[in-house]
Chains A and B, each alone.
Chain A
Amino acid sequence: DGGITQSPKYLFRKEGQNVTLSCEQNLNHDAMYWYRQDPGQGLRLIYYSQIVNDFQKGDIAEGYSVSREKKESFPLTVTSAQKNPTAFYLCASTATGNGNQPQHFGDGTRLSIL
């Protein structure tokens, strides 16, 4: 059953702590994306990767980092530099990075500050 798996579903971060959100896909998609969604708002792009070992900043990359060492994996680290990390984080993928295909989303991770 192909899809995108995000873990954990809920995550709590202490002050000054870095946390990593996992995103794995078995769709054999080239491109992967990380979005942040705040209550009652749309999705804002954090980082995206169109191919393995390459990624670009989105609109709100400050305080976040990513890696793309494998095609199927695109983990997001929320660093201590991100002062307001409480949000719903969504990972998505598309077959290629040309923007002409539907985005497939994972179930998301809800991050809160302790």
Chain B
Amino acid sequence: GQQVMQIPQYQHVQEGEDFTTYCNSSTTLSNIQWYKQRPGGHPVFLIQLVKSGEVKKQKRLTFQFGEAKKNSSLHITATQTTDVGTYFCAGMDSSYKLIFGSGTRLLVRP
């Protein structure tokens, strides 16, 4: 079946450093969504990308969707302690179901 792989599994950074997580699909995706889950909490929707090569920014967060619509990335510039959590990508399959990646857990040293 369709799979969405996400790397790295963990990332531990010093506050102020940048952070990137990557998402790769075995098949072309209709769209990709990104979620953030704080420790002990539930996933919260961040953004959706639909177009090939699309780039969207939310303050220090930059999201990209690959030209082939099979990969995506989330980049955080100058991390803060409030960025701590697990970031998930989720791609929509042909049955309109979301397939979640395994997530990247971000830890930030103050």
Contact = CB atoms under 8 A, between A and B. Distances in A.
Q: Do A and B bind each other?
A: yes
A103 B45 contact: yes
Name the residue among A35, A45, A100 with the largest chain B CB count within 10 angstroms.
A100
Interface stretch (B14-22, B58-66, B73-81, B99-107): B99-107
A75 B101 CA distance: 25
Task: Give the contact-size bracket for chain A.
Answer: 20 to 34
A78 interface: no
Contacts of A100: 30-31, 48, 50, 92
Given A99-B92, A102-B33, A43 B100 contact: yes
Contact of A45 (B44, B97, B102, B105): B97
A35 B90 CA distance: 13
A41 B102 contact: yes
A90 B30 contact: no
B92 A102 contact: no
